Structure 1
Amino acid sequence: MGTMYRASDMTPDSLDDVRRLAENARGFITDIYQHWTAGWYGQCYDSYHICIDKDGSIYIMCDQFTERKSHTWRRNTNAVGITLCCCGDATAGSDPDGEDINLGTEPPTMEQIEVMAQVTAILADEFDLSLNNSNHVMTHCEAAFKDDYGPGSGDPETRWDLWKLPDYCGDGSMKDGGQLIRDKAAWYQAEWRGEHAGD
């Protein structure tokens, strides 16, 4: 999982800092992977480029997004890894649709999910990556499904980060995590371009 740093010992970064680093990495990044640390609030790990804490604080764990980190098995080249600091005791049962997920005592917060979407929106915009599908912008769970070590595979290294997330801004029910984040990211892109004016 990399070296752990306490968020309380670091200074938070801003969305402008994310955009500045993304601008410097244009043409080099082809994929964005979204995770949770399977740790606790306030614990940031340097195996990701960006960590997002409970209150939505952003911590950039690198000097440049072209730095190769060890966030996603066999998918780290030309990729940025973003993570939520949470889910240390989360569990998923045997339901193939993820209906028996328990996000534990430190689940993803609404602030974390919204900031994950904002960061994703900025990175996808700067790297010219589409949010319309999960080919280049995906959760670790979606990558694990594609690479045959996701839920139901029987692989002891199963990864299910962000498989399902609560739709806090909707009806509160559990939704497909990757699609929820991509939809929110697309909404933020449109909002920042002024496309929601008059709605």
Structure 2
Amino acid sequence: MRRARAFIAALRAYSDHPDPLVASSNFIALLVASNQPFYPLYLWWLVSTDIAPAFGTFLSTPFFLAVPALARRSTLAARALLPLTGICNTVLCAKLFGVHSAVEVFLIPCAVLALLLFRPGERVVAFAIAGLAFLCFLLLHGRYGAPAVAYTAAEYAALMRLNAVSAAALTTCAALVFSNVLARAEGSAESGSSQKSG
């Protein structure tokens, strides 16, 4: 129990940052990284016992884990690393699983994150990364070649459901995280204005 508490405390300290946008980016990066080891299990349980391609997703895990560390050096680079890693991981998975898996749907939360993570003065970076997500779909869809595993029609249908639900959950999580950031900012602004008027 003590070790679990110490681990959670260390994780919070690692992801903590005074900038709420950076702290949110760190949280989402660690959330994605912590969920990646379970993806092969979801695949085995819901789709097929042939889960070998799923282990390719672990190539992106160190990059997700590195986001909070990079934030200590450059908050802009760290925030950019999160959606860029997601885009690269999605492209890799599209090659491994094939476009029939609908794994390209993860490009949507990557684009959404890119648009949420940057301030108005950083919109060039935001639009560039979001544009990259759309370009990957437009230019690469149907051009990946044969996937690493050919599933049956029923297995592909199950994989499509898994990926659609996962991408929707990630998008929803991002929306909730950033709505909390906005709510805290509005609360601080209201508190400041009430103190001035008082």
- TM-score, normalization: structure 1? 0.33
Structure number with the higher helix fraction is: 2
Larger Rg: 2
Structure number with the higher strand fraction is: 1
